[in-house]
Amino acid sequence: MNARTRFVIAIVVLGLLMTGPFLITALLIWFSAEPDDQSMLAQLIGPRLPLGALMTIAGLAIGVSVVRNLFRQYVQGLLRMAEQQHLMLGANRDFRIELKGPPEVQRLASTANALAQQRDELLTDVEAQIANAKRSLEAEKDRLAALMSELTQSVVVCNLDGRILLYNSSARQQFRALSVAPGVAGGGELIGLGRSIYGVFDRNLVAHALETIQHKLRNDGVSPVSNFVTTSGSGQLLRVQMAPVLAGIGTGGSSEDSAEAEAARRMTGFILMLDNITRNFESESRRDQMLHTLTEGNRSALANVRAAAEMLEYPDLDDALRQRFRGVIRDEVKAMSERLDETATEFADALKARWPLEEMLGADLIAAAQRRIEARLKVPTKHEEIDESLWVKVDSFSLLQALLYMVNRLSEEFEVREVRFRLTGAGRLVHLDLIWSGQAMSTETVMSWELEPMRFDGESSPLTVRDVIDRHGGEMWLEREKVRHRAFFRILLPAANPQEQVDPALLTRGEGRPEYYDFDLFKWSEKSHELDDRLLSELTYTIFDTETTGLNPSEGDEIIQIGATRIVNGKLLRQESFEQLIDPRRKLNPESIPIHGIQPEMLVGQPTIDKVLPAFHAFASDTVLIAHNAAFDMRFLQMKESHTGLVFDQPVLDTLLLSEVLHPNQESHRLDAIADRLNLHIVGRHTALGDAIVTAEIFIKMIPLLAEKGVRTLREAREAAEKSYYARIKY
């Protein structure tokens, strides 16, 4: 029986206690009196009955008011205090009970706050000791995480169920190219902790590779690895090397250790090392085609030339036939020459396609150019205005070759005796200036230098300066400084993306390791339970939020932004996020703009909902959906089912309903109020991704609180939420 029911019963009992004796006494006197006395009583009581009734009612009202006030101060106050104590003991250590209500309740709250303060001091001391003990282990994990991030090869680690446990930045970038919608929200929905690798690779192919490795392990194979080539859903050709993750290192030695050694060689997962060989395969195909063209095309031409040359050896050959055979030789030789030129051009293109672009410090590139020019060309160099913080993305070999070629031409044709370098930033580009003093240069000279194959110092290349610049996606032109009587070539190069740089602090900071590493997932297997009977702490979640043109989906309002993040193994993976603006193809409600801050011009050129939903559907696949006030967001998704053919039929949890389950006596269950109760700092509210991250942090805090109330599984959470008051809200 809850408190409200007890309050109603108390009011009824109070009313009976106040009116019951009066009524019973009056009835006893009435029925025990003689008829004449009854008429006399009626004459006496009749005129005073309304006054008595009013006094009774007034007394009852005063009594109800007193009981109601006592109920609020003591019963409801103590219940609210109990919920606050749970918050203070579990989700929010810094939370303290408000000193409200009568003195006795305030004294109890003050005592509880004092006990909580003592508890916090003890916990702080314990946590400090635990942190010291874990620091060495965390440093090892950080070094491993930073090393994985630095690897240029894509690496993915999975458990035996094919669930991804670990991956590096190179793998994330490569999987984006394989996405079903590469232009939407970064295209990263194929990879993530807890996702299945079978979304990319055929299950039977991986099973065959696993069987091969296990066979080698049983036969004490020295190198238990397996290699295979496969194609992705987007048509990319991938070369994969698989290696096992073993349970441990065997001790070896005596026969008593054989069982331990066998257990140590038991597979717990596997490592995939990926290379995208699509471009290499295409280049090799073009090379084979070039060789085929040279051999087959020139074979017949050589035969014709040989036959014509033999005919010309006859001394009595007619002059007309002699001229005809000479023409055959000229034509065939010309055709052979054209085929050789075409092959050489294709070879240069293939050479350009094989250039890798690497990230390097701009100052290091300038220093290398100075050393190379001074050593090989004997031309003095200097530098001016070098931005030491700039990073560039270049093929250093070909770019240095182009700089050497241009300095060599300057030295030979214009007698330049010194060159200078300048390096400055320009947004996403970098300006590299090659400066000299001397004669003026014509535009025709610049064009000829750009388009001629680079030859200098006894070396030659089929590439031109223009080829090098184009490969970098840059540009080059000539400028003059008339005041200082100087000229310079300005070369535009791509700047390295600062987000792609690895923070050196990752090697030393405990909390800084990449968030998509989770070694605890080796113990997790989805096959062990049915989804509804799985513990909330074991499930994988997609937490999402939408921003919309208005609040009425049934009246034509549309989604203008979707933001989502993921929880795996009880941890929020901020880097595995989904954020995309959407063109609603209708006007925004002016009243909504101050809430979400999205201006109409921000939506121009963005993809429409039919392009975005397939990518979000893939991002959220095989997970439980979570939102705050989920009925609102789900209604917008359901309105698009008939248009896109996509159904979000996975389980859904709502933090609004779960908050009402946890704290039914609290006045507000808004996102801000819940976050404040759980001691969460809100950043980026009223953006879809910002709200999704706050909702995810709230849900993580809720899991242990729900467990205290006996709500541990997905089924129990859904049933508890369905009984709450807010579950009746419809959109």
Whether residue 614 contacts residue 641, with contact meaning beta carbons closer than 8 Å, is answered with no
Each as own residue / partner, the long-range contacts of residues 282-288 (CB below 8 Å, 24 or more positions apart, any chain) are 283/350, 283/353, 283/354, 286/346, 286/350, 287/350
CA distance 635 to 32: 70
Residue 588, helix vs strand vs coil: coil
Which residues make beta-bridge pairs with 391?
Answer: 361
CA distance 664 to 590: 35
Whether residue 607 contacts residue 184, with contact meaning beta carbons closer than 8 Å, is answered with yes
| Cβ neighbours of residue 139 closer than 8 Å, sequence gap 6 or more | 508, 510
Residue 552, helix vs strand vs coil: coil
**What phi, psi does 263 have (nearest 5°)?**
-65, -35
The closest alpha carbon to 93, from 50, 42, 127, 69, belongs to 127
Residue with tokens 């984006």, as numbered in its chain: 176
Q: What share of the chain is helix, strand, coil (3-state, %, to 5)?
A: 55, 20, 25
β-pair type (475-481, 486-494)? antiparallel
Q: In what order do the strands lie in the sheet containing 429-437?
A: 381-386, 419-426, 429-437, 486-494, 475-481
β-pair type (391-394, 358-361)? antiparallel
CB-CB neighbours of 541 under 10 Å: 25
CA distance 568 to 700: 10
Instruction: Write the DSSP symbol of residue 121.
Output: H
Q: Take residue 115 and report the two structure tokens written for it.
A: 């006990």
**What phi, psi does 634 have (nearest 5°)?**
-65, -30
- Which value, to the nearest 10 degrees, does the dihedral of the CA atoms of residues 288, 293, 294, 297 take? 160
CA distance 506 to 145: 8
β-pair type (226-231, 237-246)? antiparallel
Q: How many helices (H) and strands (E) does the chain have?
A: 22, 19
State the catalytic residues: 686
CA distance 60 to 15: 6
Q: Take residue 660 and report the two structure tokens written for it.
A: 């009402």
Whether residue 363 contacts residue 388, with contact meaning beta carbons closer than 8 Å, is answered with yes
The closest alpha carbon to 191, from 206, 175, 173, belongs to 175
Indicate the length of the chain as a whole number. Answer: 731
**What phi, psi does 432 have (nearest 5°)?**
-110, 115
Q: Take residue 49 and report the two structure tokens written for it.
A: 């009955």
Instruction: Write the DSSP symbol of residue 228.
Output: E
What are the distances in angstroms from CA 630 to CA 54, 107, 426, 627, 651?
51, 41, 45, 5, 11
CA distance 720 to 695: 19
Hey, which bits of 364-428 come out as E strands? Answer: 381-386, 391-394, 419-426
Instruction: Write the DSSP symbol of residue 196.
Output: B
CB-CB neighbours of 423 under 10 Å: 21
**What phi, psi does 714 have (nearest 5°)?**
-65, -40
